Amino acid sequence: MQPLICVLVVFLGTLNKQLFICKYTDAGQLIGGQNGCYNLVPVFEWIRRCIISIFLVFFIAFLPLFLQGTFRPSISSLLLTLCYQNSPRGVPERH
């Protein structure tokens, strides 16, 4: 599902540069006399909201890890922990 959303966003991004997008006034009313324009403004606003929500969820998910890192004795141990957390094997076990 996620790769399909990425492909959709890329295609819509190319449409933004290739098609004539309808213009609106500051009040949100469609400006008349625009023949052949495409009303993709709501779609682009939806994509913008999705991207903002993805970054917000990412920030909330990693906030506890960053707060925990502030109590680490050094920056190197913080970076090492972050690398282990994001690696596919995970944190190595200590014996």
The one-letter amino acid code at 25 reads: T
5-9, 32-36, 42-46: which has the minimum mean pLDDT?
Answer: 5-9
User: Around 2, how many Cα atoms within 13 Å sit in the side-chain half-sphere?
Assistant: 2
Q: Which long-range contacts (CB under 8 A, 24 or more apart) does 7-15 make?
A: 9/47, 12/40, 12/43, 12/44, 12/47, 15/40
Residue 95 pLDDT: 53
What pTM does this model have?
0.55
Cβ atoms of 22 and 30 closer than 8 Å: yes
Residues 6+ apart with CB under 8 A from 85: 65, 91
**pLDDT at residue 87 tops 80:** no
- 3-class secondary-structure state, position 31: coil
CA–CA separation, 55 vs 92, rounded Å? 28
- Res. 56 pLDDT band, cuts 50 70 90: very high
